[in-house]
Amino acid sequence: MLIGAHLSIAGGVDKAFKRATDIDCTAMQIFTKSNRQWKAKELKPDEIERYHQHLEETKLPVVCHASYLINLGSPKEEIRQKSINALVIELQRCETLKIPYLVLHPGAHMKAGVDAGVAEVIKSLNTVHAQLPDYQVKIALEITAGQGSALGAKFEEIGAMIKGCDDSDRLVVCFDTCHALAAGYEFRTPESYEAMLTEFDQTIGLDRLKVFHVNDSQKDLGSHVDRHTHIGEGYIGLEPFGYFLNDLRFKDIPFLLETPKKKDPEDDIRNLAALRRLIK
């Protein structure tokens, strides 16, 4: 199973590999730059070389998460253009590091309405793709909790973004368990789990699902509040995570923790252990 966590790149992107192997991760997620700043320090040649060396040695699947500042759905031209520029840089870094998927929150419509927001996301994605022809890295649009005016809380919205994009083959999906529950998708029984996946398949397509974020939720079904908590300590509980982990359709897809880290790496270690105990 490909199970891991989001890990720090303090000291350089190459340093994340040791943090991953120290806690027995078989996959990992990183930022390649500060997630709270628009600007990005250039990756140094020796840092890139060390990264590729560790990648070859460990064979560890790596996923990147884009900056939270990016909002491709903003009605404000200045914010949207800054977001496009920032996303281009993120994708360039992923391509350099041979990272296959860049997880991206689609954005927020900022009171302009869902349809207008989705249209802006599509237009922005087309602009980004046009600037980076022939890139291998794919954008993984993340299911959101629907907090505020966040887009992507409904499968239909993600599906519309993919369908509307000129180069839709370059788009995949990241499924966040906390976000899905908060968005209103019930999957805490075997029956509701299968019903939800059927809806996902009909609306988006299970072949698009390439990354899982495994997080429990501090808030209950349909709360539209994005608050992650430790595995088994929230409204999802333990058993439903096992539905995903033991689903053979997802045996080659990375399951990545984004749970709180008050004690690092102890919190990741216990959450990873909780997930592994569910694997049959």
- Residue from 14, 120, 157, 226 carrying the catalytic annotation: 226
Residue 142 designated active-site = yes
Q: What range defines the domain where residue 95 resides? A: 3-276
Asked whether the whole model's pTM tops 0.85, one would answer: yes
CA distances from 18 to 21, 33, 60, 274 (A): 5, 18, 11, 22
What would the mean pLDDT of 182-187 be, rounded to a whole number? 98
9-24: average pLDDT: 98
Please determine, for residue 206, whether its predicted confidence score (pLDDT) is greater than 90.
Answer: yes
| Buried/exposed code over 197-210 (b: 16+ C-beta within 10 A; e: otherwise) | beebeebbeeebbb
Q: Is 243 a catalytic residue?
A: no
156 is catalytic: no
User: pLDDT tens digits, residue range 63-81?
Assistant: 999 999 999 999 999 999 9
| Residue among 6, 19, 65, 80 flagged as catalytic | 65
Catalytic residue list contains 276: no
Distance (Å, rounded) from C-alpha 93 to C-alpha 33? 9
What value does the mean pLDDT take over residues 12-35? 97
Q: How does pLDDT run across 92-109, given as a tens digit for each residue?
A: 999 999 999 999 999 999
- For 57: left if phi > 0, alpha if psi spans -120 to 50, otherwise beta; the answer is alpha
pLDDT of residue 36: 85
List 216, 228, 243, 268, catalytic entry:
228
- In residues, how long is the chain? 280
Res 222: pLDDT: 98
pLDDT given at position 9: 97
- Helix and strand numbers (H, E) in the chain are 9, 10
Q: Which of 6, 19, 54, 105 is catalytic?
A: 105
Told to judge if 52 belongs to the known catalytic residues of this protein, a careful annotator would answer: no
Q: Does residue 6 have an active-site annotation?
A: no
User: How many distinct structural domains can be found in the chain?
Assistant: 1
Catalytic residue among 57, 68, 115, 266: 68
Catalytic residue (one of 120, 157, 258, 268) = 258
Catalytic, out of 90, 142, 157, 216: 142
The yes-or-no answer on residue 213 being catalytic is yes
Give the list of residues 6+ apart from residue 141 with CB closer than 8 angstroms, or none: 104, 106, 152, 158, 161, 162, 171, 172, 173, 174
- Please name the amino acid found at residue 181: L
pLDDT at 221: 98
The pair of structure tokens assigned to 178 is: 């906390």
Q: Which of 170, 179, 216, 268 is catalytic?
A: 179
Of the chain, the percentage scoring pLDDT greater than 70 comes to: 100
Question: What CATH code is carried by the domain that includes residue 10?
Answer: 3.20.20.150
Active site residue 258: yes
Q: DSSP code of 230?
A: -
pLDDT tens-digit profile of 208-244?
A: 999 999 999 999 999 999 999 999 999 999 999 999 9
User: CA–CA distance from 45 to each of 12, 35, 241 (Å)?
Assistant: 11, 21, 40
User: Is it the case that residue 177 has pLDDT exceeding 90?
Assistant: yes
Distances (CA, A) of 106 to 5, 95, 97, 156, 229: 21, 20, 23, 13, 22
Exactly one of 6, 90, 213, 243 is catalytic; which is it? 213
Active site residue 264: no
pLDDT at residue 119 in the model: 98
Residues in contact with 274: Cβ distance below 8 Å, sequence separation at least 6, in sequence order: 230, 231, 232, 238, 241
* Confidence band, pLDDT 50/70/90 cuts, at residue 130: very high
Assess whether pLDDT exceeds 90 at residue 48.
yes
